[in-house]
Amino acid sequence: MGELDEIRKKKMEELKRKQEDEQQTMEAEVQRQLIFQQVMAPEARERLTRIKMANPEYAAQVENVLLQLIQQGRIKTRITEEMLKQILSQLQGQKKDFKITRR
């Protein structure tokens, strides 16, 4: 019986940790969204939401770049849709293009 109790106890601790991790992740996401709500114009947020629906990985990259710029103090004004477009075009420029030539 003691071994079974140990397994149950470990499983409960594991579940509790997993639940805490999920809660922290949710809280962090809520914090991010509040920051974006404060510093982004509605049109810019809508554009970012559309990007997130089409390409979640790219949207996460854009959000990380925006957070870095905000934390570094490089963005001091409200982010408009035009500013977001400029940031997106700069990020697009960072992608490497491969050209394949056939012989």
> How many Cβ atoms from other residues are within 10 Å of residue 52's Cβ?
15
Per-residue pLDDT, 75: 86
**Cα gap 57→43, rounded to integer Å:** 21
| The pLDDT of residue 95 is above 90 | no
Stretch 33-53: mean pLDDT: 93
Nearest by Cα to 59 from 36, 28, 75: 36
Predicted confidence band of residue 103 (pLDDT cuts 50, 70, 90): confident
| The pLDDT of residue 11 is above 70 | yes
pTM of the model: 0.67
